[in-house]
Amino acid sequence: FSRTMNSPATRRTVDEITGSRRLRRTRKADWSRRLVRENHLTVDDLIWPLFLMEGENQQEPLSAMPGVMRHTVDHAVRQAEYAAKLGIPAIATFPNIDPARRDDTGSHSLDPDNLINRATRAIKEAVPEIGIITDVALDPFTSHGHDGILRDGEIINDETVAQIAAAAVGQAEAGADIIAPSDMMDGRIGAIRDALDQNGFQNVAIMSYATKFASAFYGPYREAIGTGGLLKGDKKTYYIDPANSDEALREAEQDLQEGADMLIVKPGLPYIDIVRQLKDTFSVPTFAYQVSGEYAMIRAAAANGWIDGERAMLESLLSFKRAGCDGILTYFAAEVAELL
Ligand code: PBG
C-alpha cells in the first residue's frame, strides 16, 4: 500500500487503466443524465392502499404510519376521487372490521354488506374510472388475526380456500376489478378463478400475492386493521421463509399456472431480488408492495432529520422500477403523484 502511495509515477495513467472509457461523461450535467436515464417513475405506476373503518364522516390517524389514515366509507370515496384526480390508476382497500364481527372462521368475509363490499360499491358508483383491488385474505375477519380458518392450532388449507373463493365472488359482485389474495393457501388462485368464472366474472382479474414472505415489516399494518394484539403465534406455516428465493419462483409459477394475471412481491425493498427474478423468468405484470414497515422506516428517519424523506421515497420507488416492477403498492402514492 505504502509503495503505491509513494511512487505514483510508476503506475498507469487513468486513460491507460480505463482504455479511455469514462462513464462520468454522461453524468456530467442534468441534461445528459436525463438523456441516458433508463427508468422513470410515473403516476401510472402507483396503487394506493386505503384503510377502511365503520362509521360516518370520520378518519383516524395511525400512530405507526404518520400521514396515513383509516377512513369511513364516505371518506374513502373522497380519497378515491382525489386519487382519480391525481391520475392514480387503482386503489387497494383493507378493512378494520368491528371486533364483534370477527370469529374463528372469519365468516363475516362472506357478508355481501361487510365493510369492504360496501366501500367497493360506494367507490365504484362515485368514481367508476378508478380500478378497485380487494384482498380476500381472512385476517381482518378472524378473531385470531390469521389469514385462514384456525382449528386445533392449525390453519386449515382447503376449507380456507373454499371460503376465500366464495368471498372473492362477493367482492366481484360488489364491483371489485381485481381480486388480490394475500393468504398464501395452496390452490387458492385456481379455486378463485373457477368461482369467478362460474359466476360470470370472467373479466375480473387476479393479482396474486404470489410471493409473500413471513416478514417483520407488516407491524404497522396490523395496528391499522386491528389485528396486531390478536395474532397468536406467527404466519410461518403459510407465508414464505425470508431465506428462500427458489421457493418463491415455484410459488409464482404455480399461481400463474392456476390462472393469476399478475404477481405481487411483498414486502418490497428487502425482496427486490425476487422482483427481478420473477420478471426475468415469467415476463408477466409484476408489482411490489412497499409495506407498512418500509413506509414507517422512511417516515421515522425523515422525522428525525436522519434522511431526506422526499428523496428516499422517490429513490425507493424508482428502485422498484429498475428491478422490473410494472407498478408499486405504496402508502406514498398520493404524495408522490402530487410531486410528479
Ligand atoms: C394479510 C395482510 C398483510 C398485509 C396486508 N394484508 C400481512 C399481515 O398482516 O400478515 C401487510 C400490508 C402492510 O404491511 O402494509 N393478509
> Over the stretch 242-280, which tens digit does the pLDDT of each residue have?
999 999 999 999 999 999 999 999 999 999 999 999 999
Q: How far apart are CA 282 and CA 328, in angstroms?
A: 18
Taking CA atoms only, the protein residue closest to ligand 1 atom 14 is: 218
Per-residue confidence (pLDDT) for residue 6, from 0 to 100: 57
Look at residue 126 in the predicted model and tell me its pLDDT: 98
In angstroms, the CA 53 to CA 55 distance is 7
Residue linked to cell 408522490: 336
pLDDT score, position 8: 60
pTM: 0.95
Q: Which residues are catalytic?
A: 212, 266
Q: What residue spans of 27-72 are helical by DSSP H?
A: 30-36
pLDDT the model gives residue 3: 53
48 C-alpha to center of ligand 1: Å? 14
Positions of the chain with pLDDT lower than 70, given as ranges: 1-10
Domain 43-339 sits in CATH 3.20.20.70: yes
Question: Where do the structural domains in the chain lie, given as residue ranges?
Answer: 43-339
Residue 209 beta carbon below 6 angstroms from any ligand 1 atom: no
User: Is residue 215 within 8 Å of 267, Cβ to Cβ?
Assistant: yes
pLDDT given for residue 228 in this prediction: 85
Match 487503466 to its residue by C-alpha cell: 17
Q: How far is CA 55 from CA 58, 96, 126, 217, in A?
A: 7, 11, 19, 29
β-sheet bridge partners, residue 154: 151
- For residue 190, how far is the Cα from the chain centroid? 21
Q: What pLDDT is stored for residue 340 in this prediction?
A: 93
Measured in Å, residue 218 CA sits from the centre of ligand 1 at: 6
CA nearest ligand 1 atom 11, residue: 218
Q: Which residue among 290, 291, 297 has the greatest number of ligand 1 atoms within 8 angstroms of its CB, and so is best to mutate?
A: 291
Could you tell me if the CB of 137 is within 6 A of ligand 1? Answer: yes
> Would you say the CB of residue 255 lies under 6 angstroms from ligand 1?
no
CA dist., res. 46 & res. 52, Å (int) = 19
